[in-house]
Amino acid sequence: MKTADVIKLDLNRYASTPPKVAIVGAGCGEVELLTLKAARYISKADVIIYDSLVCEEILTLASSRCAMHFVGKRCGQPSAKQDEINALLVASARGGGFVVRLKGGDPNIFGRGCEEALYLAESGIKSEFVPGVTAALGCAASAGIPLTHRGVARSVTFVTGRVFDNSAQSWSALLCAETSLVFYMGKEQAGNIAKGLLAAGASIELPMAFITNGARVDQDVVYAKLGSMAMVAQRLVVEGPTLIIVGEVVNVAQTLSELVLSIEERGSQRVSEHSDNQMNPSRLVR
């Protein structure tokens, strides 16, 4: 084969043998963040195997004939083992019909999507991935935090907050120039995260934010500095998944928030003045 040859991917090559399983990202919050393809697959599924971070409204898209299996994993709570989930996927696929493995966010961002795809493939079952809006993107956008911003952050790093390397070298690598850090499931490890970053040379004034239930109606955003991050996390009493964003982009978001608030306040003031003028015509300027 010539080195200049181009290998063209034929997207229709699977048309005659569609996958039996779709590993689908449900997005990070409300149903409107679901992709059109994900919604279509959910509506035509014969079996749905879903996680705890999938919102109830998304599940209502499934047909009444669809068999629903909850296999959610939550920190510190009884949950399905991965081996059990793998076995259920294989059994459901071999039982016939179309199977949707529904995961919060994107299936391959801390979602074990490819682990399950590999297990299915080893069992002779083909699957496909349907991407979803991962928590870092959805929560940051909903909170008004740009993960990259010219002159402030030119890269972003996603880190799991549950298990990580505590070596000084690893923390230093995370602090490369102009980088935003996003820690998934990091609230319980906030003290260790702050300690590691500070030991690696981060400033105690480095801004950060906790985002709980991001991109949902009950979203909660709490701002702090790296130096007080552990203390704020201990005082934070919330229910639901919490994302941590660390970096100067948080200051950009706060500036934007203040500007938007001032616009809203001016708008409210104009509405109030207009209402007063209508009620008291003598105040009109002629």
Task: Give catalytic residue positions.
Answer: 51, 73
Q: At what angle do helices 82-94 and 113-122 cross, to 10 degrees?
A: 50
Sorted by sequence, the CB contacts under 8 Å of residue 13 that are 6+ apart come out as none
Sorted by sequence, the CB contacts under 8 Å of residue 8 that are 6+ apart come out as none
Strand 127-130 relative to strand 155-160, pairing: unpaired
Q: Biggest alpha carbon distance in the chain?
A: 87
Spatial distance between the Cα atoms of 267 and 286, rounded to a whole number of angstroms: 23
**Tokens (6 digits) for 213:** 């239930």
Phi, psi (rounded to 5 degrees) for 10: -90, 110
Q: If DSSP codes are grouped into helix, strand and coil, which group holds residue 145?
A: coil
Burial 208-220 (b: 16+ CB within 10 A, else e): bbbbbbbbbeebb
* Nearest residue to 179 (alpha-carbon basis) of 161, 155, 208: 155
DSSP class of residue 188 equals G
